[in-house]
Structure 1
Amino acid sequence: MSTAAVPLLQAQGLRKTYQGSGGTRTVAVDDLSFTLHAGGALGIVGESGSGKTTTARMLVGMEQPDRGRIQLMGTPITARTRGRAARLARAKAVQIVFQDPYLSLDARIGIGAMLADVLRLHGCSDAAVRAERVRELLSQVGLGEREAAALPRRLSGGQRQRAAIARALAVEPAVLVLDEAVSALDVSVQAQVLNLLCDIRRSTGIGLVFVSHDLAVIRYVCDEALVMYRGRTVEHRPVPDLLAAPEHPYTRLLLSSVPHPGWDPDLIGRRRRDLLPDRAAG
């Protein structure tokens, strides 16, 4: 098989459960599979509790699946990494950007110094090379010398998220996972960050996995969308097809839940109860 034919990222039959009170087990993700090709962008869509964030955490190694496997360019990466070199290699392959950039930014040091530390950790020992790379990363995400010297608390929300993206890009990952990465931003800032991600995707060929509850964001960024409901995939199709003619009741419910003229939240609640009655967690 040629290298070009090997998927960039592939998840096969992923399952993750958590221990609950009284010995019960909650199924967070059940039999999840997808394929992401180089330069592709996959949206994973669902409401809170759908399993999308657990999926993101499994992709970057923060959670281990109970069953199934994850492959990067044909090589399994599901097994728990042991040793510093293996952990760095895993981090270099797949990076994540969170909803709250404070989760990945060190509040005690400036943005430029933070990026330099990441480069040093991953083997860039030449100070001049690090400095030049820091400038390149900041420029790539639309930040400059003033932001490089600033502590995270001195930046706006959009600037902090750009810095978090620069931090993730510093190790040149093959895949960037974005977990609700723009949901806390103002709409105008969201657009700026989404445009930035589209530009980075075009210029680098990086693969994107965009986890979001917002179908408008998925429409803007992604080629394909995978809709999750209570841990399971209920629909997985190209974004234009899914949005134009959703096949599953839950996807239709998500689309109808977006505020629009004549929108009635009480009606949406009734449809939810009719279409998707509660069931006990497995």
Structure 2
Amino acid sequence: MTGSVTRTSGTTGDKGADAVDATLEVVDLCKAFGGHRAVDGVSFTLAPGGSLGIVGESGCGKTTTARMLVGLVSPDSGSIRVGGRERSAPTRNRAERLARAREMQMVFQDPYLSLDPRVVVRECVEEVLRLHFDLTREQRTARVVELLDQVGLGEREASALPKALSGGQRQRVAIARALAAEPKVLILDEAVAALDVSIQAQILDLLAGIRRDAGVGFLFVSHDLAVVRHITEDVVVLRGGRVVEAGPTVDVLTEPRHTYTRLLLDSVPRVGWDPARIAADRRALEREAGGSSGD
């Protein structure tokens, strides 16, 4: 089963917008690794400045989908368009690779692994500007200050190596570096999962402000339904590489139609939570699907 999400209003204010005006349009995306079909016919759209969550348990295909969007994994079939321009085909030269990199940037779960430990924060961000824009040194310096200020970091952090920063500060650096490319879409792959709850809230509030002020679209990949509920307008639920439910976040997470979505919601611990019942419901769902939950 495939599904799609198309917003025609929301943050753009253009109630007559059509899917062709979407910042990101994904159609029937597929990827297999050997005999394992990791992504199977996934489709969705993201409006300019919109926010979309992709949720599901481990192995559902959400991270593989995100990696195909930014070009880290090549799709077997399907279409990926940004601003109406196809980007599924291989790039032909360095200029095309840089242009695609600018369109979509990704923030990973562990920022330390994505930052050069030998380079101070200021230079981490400046390198992106040097790569994508024809700026003078003075212009780059001013822009780095602006970007770090945007994510709540100052001169002390700018002069520090990544190892000297906290996890939350490193994630702020990763966000600043991604924003330096001025992307149309920012993909956040479990970007707050490794942070303490209090730091998660700070980063989520920061991201909400950035989306409001910069107009960048967010694609939020997460297994944490509370986080997705807080930061996204629409959501796509994946199971076994397929879309089983999609729609406005408040509707899908309040009144889910699919059994699997209800199971995800019921799996969140709370007062009166019964893990034995959840396990039994999961076994019943797997029997109903012919044991395909691991696809």
How would you bin the TM-score normalised by the shorter chain? over 0.9
Q: 2:29 aligns with which of 2, 8, 14?
A: 14
State the one-letter code of the partner of 2:55: V
Structure 2: which amino acid aligns with 1:237?
G
- What is the distance in 1 between the residues matched to 2:262 and 2:275? 14
**Alignment match, 1:158:** 168
Number of the residue aligned with 1:197:
207
Moved over 4 A (4+): 1-5
The answer for unaligned runs of 5 or more in structure 2 is: 1-15
Aligned partner of 2:279 in structure 1 is 269
| Residue 264 of structure 1, CA deviation | 1.9
C-alpha displacement at 1:266, in angstroms? 2.1
1:27·1:281 contact (CA, 8 Å) conserved in 2?
A: no
Q: What SS class does the counterpart of residue 183 from structure 1 fall into?
A: coil
Alpha carbon RMSD of aligned pairs, Å? Answer: 1.6
8 Å CA contact 1:124, 1:130 repeated in 2: no
Residues 286 and 293, structure 2, Cα contact 8 Å, conserved in 1: no
* Deviation of 1:82 (Å): 2.9
**1:44 & 1:114 partners in 2: Cα distance?**
29
TM-score, length basis structure 1: 0.95
Contact 1:250 1:276 in 2 (8 A): no
From 32, 36, 53, give the equivalent of 1:26.
36
CA contact (8 A) 1:26 1:281 kept: no
Partner of 2:243 in structure 1?
A: 233
SS in 2 for 1:276: helix
Q: What is the Cα deviation at residue 70 of structure 1?
A: 0.3
Kindly indicate whether residue 96 of structure 2 is the aligned counterpart of residue 123 of structure 1: no
Match of 1:22 in 2: none
Distance 1:240 1:133 in 2: 37
Cα–Cα, structure 1 residues 213 and 199, in superposed 2: closer, same or farther, change >3 Å?
A: same
Residue in structure 1 matched with residue 292 of structure 2 by the alignment = 279
Contact 1:15–1:68 (Cα < 8 Å) also in 2: yes
Structure 2 partner of 1:177: 187
- Tell me which residue corresponds to 1:252: 262
Name the SS for the 1:273 alignment partner: helix
Equivalent residue letter for 1:120: R
SS for the counterpart of 2:92 is coil
SS in 2 for 1:91: helix
TM-score norm. by structure 2 comes to 0.91
Aligned length: 277
2:114 pairs with 1:104: yes
* Partner Cα separation in structure 1 for residue 239 and residue 293 of structure 2: 13
Q: Which of 77, 82, 90 is residue 72 of structure 1 equivalent to?
A: 82
- Structure 1 counterpart SS, 2:282: helix
Q: Report the identity percentage.
A: 57
Cα drift, residue 125 of structure 1: 3.7
